Amino acid sequence: MSGNIELLGTTLAAARAEDRAALIAYLPAGFPTVDGGIEAVKAVIAGGADVVEIGLPHSDPVLDGPVIQTADDIALRGGVRIADVMRTVREAYEATGVPILVMTYWNPIDRYGVERFTAELAEAGGAGCILPDLPVQESALWREHAEKHGLATVFVVAPSSQDARLATITAAGSGFVYAASLMGVTGTRASVGAQAQELVGRTRATTDLPVCVGLGVSNAEQAAEVAGFADGVIVGSAFVKAMLDAPDEAAGLDAVRSLAGELAQGVRKR
């Protein structure tokens, strides 16, 4: 079975055709439980998310701030496994038809086996992977199997990336480019900052891939700001925090659905 890279492309193109940015939501698998995590993904899609990233919980998440680290810890203590990540992708995709990616560090894939991981992700209906710590120059094996199975390879670029480096990264990637709005870890911020707009401009000069911005967006106003210059707005910590702050799972699902609705309005006010 082939993965859903084409669905990802058509979804991002459809948002552009509507003269808006796509809303991309991030939630970790297994949080607060595997079943609860699947329902949370369905809730953000019901609220208006166009694309969802499923986080593969990791004990040493170098890109993730304290909010996502807390959720990852809950998921890991709950015994989450890669099989649960694949189940989350499968059930979310089958229920919604929305493109679902996995965001993961390289070590779990390396240990699991690249061929096995890509084959299972494609079979689950996944659209691809975001790989924040896989160097492009070491990515040939992954890209070979991802392409074979119809999966996008999304690399992360940062404000510190030089233009030549940006060109190397974007030439190797597919699906879209993840532009980190600032130097640092994930988390909500008071402002997203001018660095993000400059980075998007420099990245676009090297590629025709959509450029989507993450790190720091937490409300509709910020989503509208980023949507003014990016093809997609990526929101993670705000959704996870809404789940963490809720008194129970039902309230958490209501909170993330409502937040997705506000953000979906924001990306339409670019």
Question: Which residues participate in catalysis according to the annotation?
Answer: 53, 64
Residue 177: which residues within 8 A CB-CB, separation 6 or more?
154, 155, 157, 169, 170, 203, 207, 209, 210, 211, 212
CA dist 98 and 114 (Å) reads 24
Tell me the pairing of strands 128-130 and 232-235. unpaired
What six digits make up the tokens of 176? 């879209």
- Identify whether the C-beta of residue 22 lies closer than 8 Å to the C-beta of residue 234: no
What six digits make up the tokens of 87? 């189940």
Give the closest residue to 35 by CA, choosing from 4, 75, 3, 72.
75
CA dist 138 and 194 (Å) reads 31
CA dist 30 and 58 (Å) reads 11
CA dist 101 and 83 (Å) reads 15
Q: How far is CA 41 from CA 8, 47, 254, in A?
A: 16, 10, 12
Give the closest residue to 93 by CA, choosing from 120, 117, 125, 50.
125
Residue positions counted in the chain: 270
- What element of type H or E holds 37? helix 34-47
